[in-house]
Structure 1
Amino acid sequence: MSAEHESIPPWYKQFWPWFLIGLLASSVTFSLVYLTLSIRYYDGSVSGDYYKQGLAINQQLAKQEHAQTLGLEARLLVDDRTGDVVVDLQGDRQPEQLFLELIFPTESSRDRSLTLEHVRDGRYVGMVNEPLNYRWYLQLQPTEGRDAEWRLTGEARFPSDDEIALVPGL
């Protein structure tokens, strides 16, 4: 008869219901966290003309080979305090303007374009509005857009007091 009188504790005092509720609650919590992160840090979708962009790599390589045959090379220096950008271009071509693309590796919204004016003997100057931080990819070309006849590329970590080399090549 003592077996019949043994009391079973209520459900909220037992381990297993709380374990199962905890699993469900953690699943919902992690789902909401991942949803928030994916909305906040949306990285865009695949472009519709990805195939054409893939074929365009040959054109990019041709631009850089052309820069190499012209003997082009550049040194870039950015003053962190004033925002001045100075490029010294060496080679056969000295256009009146150069276009510098500053490409941030992970966020396209942070990309910047600068127009550099020819001052003298292959020296070009321009200015950035905000200080540069972290790592950037650099592309220097004589005209804006994809129709430039040559391109120099480089990579830099800012802030930096060192000169950055821009050379033909990927």
Structure 2
Amino acid sequence: MKDSWYREPWAWLVFILPFTAVVAGIATYIIANTNPDTLVVGDYYKKGKSINLEVGKVKMAQKLGMRFALQLKDNELIIKPTGIEKVFPLLNVSFFHPTLEERDFYLALTQDGNGYFRHHFDKDISGKWKLTLTSFENNWKIQDTLSLPQADFIDLIPNPIKAQ
């Protein structure tokens, strides 16, 4: 009497290996399509042109002598102009997380009586962030990568190398 094929262990091994590859391929396809990479840019030419504009804004900040000092301690952000006599009606502050786009946020800050820009956060802002300061008119820009919180004031100066 001949045994049935399903009682042979080698037959199961031959079937399970391709079946496992198919399941892994389907899982990979689902993961790739439900979590797209938001850091990939589709139109590189337009992005390159905008980078040149941004470098021009950084150079304008250098020409104007823009300098600020930043401190983030006990969930309170303080940005103070250093070496600038100009009064700013509004300072645009953008925080970009290096990997998670949903954590990015923007603040529009006005000066207090001391000439400082202040904001109190409801939650802890810690880790590595790319910070961008721009004027209300958006004609100059300072950009830097920081590790937050910062107990001491750190200088933010226009640096064209970090503009990209």
When normalised by structure 2's length, the TM-score is: 0.80
Whole-angstrom distance in 2 between the partners of 1:163 and 1:38: 42
User: 1:113 aligned to 2:106?
Assistant: yes
1:74 to 46, 58, 68: 68
Q: How does 1:18-167 map to 2 (within 5 A)?
A: 18-44=12-38, 46-47=41-42, 50-79=44-73, 81=74, 83-92=75-84, 93-143=86-136, 148-167=138-157
Q: Residue deviations 1:101-136, cap 9 Å, x none?
A: 001122222210012221245421123343223321
Structure with max Cα Rg: 1
Number of equivalent positions: 158
What root-mean-square deviation, in Å, do the aligned CA atoms of Structure 1 and Structure 2 show? 2.5
What secondary structure is seen at the aligned counterpart in 2 of 1:105? coil
Instruction: Report how far residue 89 of structure 1 moved.
Output: 1.6
What secondary structure is seen at the aligned counterpart in 2 of 1:77? strand
Summarize the Cα distance change of 1:31–1:129 in structure 2 as closer, same or farther, 3 Å threshold: farther
Whole-angstrom distance in 2 between the partners of 1:160 and 1:22: 55
Summarize the Cα distance change of 1:8–1:158 in structure 2 as closer, same or farther, 3 Å threshold: farther
Instruction: Report how far residue 162 of structure 1 moved.
Output: 4.4
Runs of at least 4 residues of structure 1 off by over 4 A? 44-47
Residues 114, 128 of structure 1: 8 Å contact kept? no
Instruction: Report how far residue 75 of structure 1 moved.
Output: 1.8
Identical columns (%): 25
Higher relative contact order (CA 8 A, sep 6+): 2
Moved more, 125-134 or 111-120: 125-134
What secondary structure is seen at the aligned counterpart in 1 of 2:71? strand
Residues 43, 107 of structure 1: 8 Å contact kept? no
User: 1:168 aligned to 2:161?
Assistant: no
